[in-house]
Amino acid sequence: MNKQNLFPTKWSMAIFIAIVILAGSVFAVGQTERVVYRFHGGNDGADPDGGLISDQAGNFYGAVRGGGAHDYGAIFQMSPPAGQGGHWTESVIYNFTGGNDGGAPIGELIFDQAGNLYGVALLGGSTGGGTVFELTPQGGTWTESVIYNFQSNDQPVPGVVFDKAGNLYGATAAGGGHGSVFQLAPSQGGGWTETTIYSFGAAHKGRTPLYGPAINRAGNLYGLLQYGSTGASGGVYQLKAPAQQGGAWTERVLYSFKGGSDGGNPSGGLVFDQKGNLYGVSQQGGAFRHGTVFQLVRQGSSWSKALVYSFCSQAHCRDGFNPMAGLLTDNKGNLYGTTDLGGAAHYGTIFQLTPPAAQGDPWTQTVLHNFTNLGGDGNGPATARLIRGKFGSLWGTTTRGGKTEGECARTLGCGTVFNVVP
């Protein structure tokens, strides 16, 4: 976008105000964004690839795809300040070597009930095709172990999820030829057993998973596909859990995007609300062709898709565009997310979507923060999902922005950790 056009004329400002009113979108008042850490691109890491996860003590954990002691990425911890007004402390709890332990961790991490961390690495392992790894805390340090090595051509995608029995699920973009979903089951004698529970193949059933699946209370898995059942605009699949252990999982494409005003190129994974409805984002399409937030509502045995919001509804895309990260929900039905581009400074936004008071009315979009890439602010939240912190604050990462000297100057900064306080 031409930065010279970011400041509208008097006439275009009037049009802009009218569009805001008609679109049901407002700007936030009283929201404060604070960058709590700026990555240097050295031993502390660079380019956080996914969002954060927190423990009961209030520490946050995340993955950086680059940097670290061996330049193959790292897992970091953000520790809260000891007193009010203090600074958060970043520490690396594991440095990947790019060898058998893996390299270039991608996506969000997940805890098990014992406090161990799990995630996916894109590189390394015994075949060089990436790993699923576990980090175990032991007396103030963390020990890394590989619980699964992908085949060299599997192409693992970000994100893993646990079921109630402690089994771990994830996906690959190319395993089995057109992508697969796998289960890792803990063995009684230690170790994990991998089972491919579904391989995508037939074009009419969709193919090429994009992110790890979401799981509902019944143990069914839901995820995004690069290719739906009707073309290359993407789709949403369901894998229904077998009635008996060892039975076959049943795959079904719940929705195939049509492109254009319908949306296309879904991104960032899926999330459930308290009613069991699914929400996600598409990077393209919608009423203004710059991305959407969509909803899938279950109606008996079928699902219906609704368009929640189309980005770039405002002059100069001040509401943001190109959403890439998955969404966050709260108990009031609000949705929170980010756009990688657009906003007042064209470096992305943090937004809230408030459900309508009456059925059929539009959702209300509020921009909570405009990333500026100035003064150490972030730039481009990309695929990092927001999470909730204390007192309703929102936490996340940006892949760019922050430090702009040394190695980081070549990439417009090496990324940040931020929070937004209501």
Q: Per-residue pLDDT tens, the chain, 422 aa: give them.
A: 343 343 334 333 333 333 333 334 455 545 789 999 999 999 999 999 899 999 999 999 999 999 999 999 999 999 999 888 889 999 999 999 999 999 999 999 999 999 999 999 999 999 999 999 999 999 889 999 999 999 999 999 999 999 999 999 999 999 999 999 999 999 988 899 999 999 998 666 899 999 999 999 999 999 999 999 887 899 999 999 999 988 999 999 999 999 999 999 999 999 999 999 999 999 999 999 999 999 999 988 899 999 999 999 999 999 999 999 999 999 999 999 999 999 999 999 999 999 999 988 999 999 999 999 898 999 989 889 999 998 889 999 999 999 888 878 877 899 999 999 87
- Report long-range pairs for 243-249 (Cβ below 8 Å, ≥24 apart): 249/181, 249/197, 249/198, 249/221
Calpha distance 124→78 (Å, rounded)? 26
Q: Any residues with CB less than 8 A from the CB of 167 and at least 6 apart, and which?
A: 183, 184, 185, 186
pLDDT at 80: 95
pLDDT at 7: 33
Contact 378, 401 (CB under 8 A): yes
Tokens of 376: 């150490």
The half-sphere exposure of 130 on its side-chain side, counting CA atoms within 13 A, is 22
Calpha distance 225→205 (Å, rounded)? 10
Calpha distance 384→381 (Å, rounded)? 6
Domain residue spans of the chain = 3-421
pLDDT at 246: 85
CATH of segment(s) 3-421: 2.120.10.30
The half-sphere exposure of 132 on its side-chain side, counting CA atoms within 13 A, is 27
What's phi and psi for 258, nearest 5 deg? -100, -5
Closest to 326 measured CA to CA, from 275, 266, 277? 266
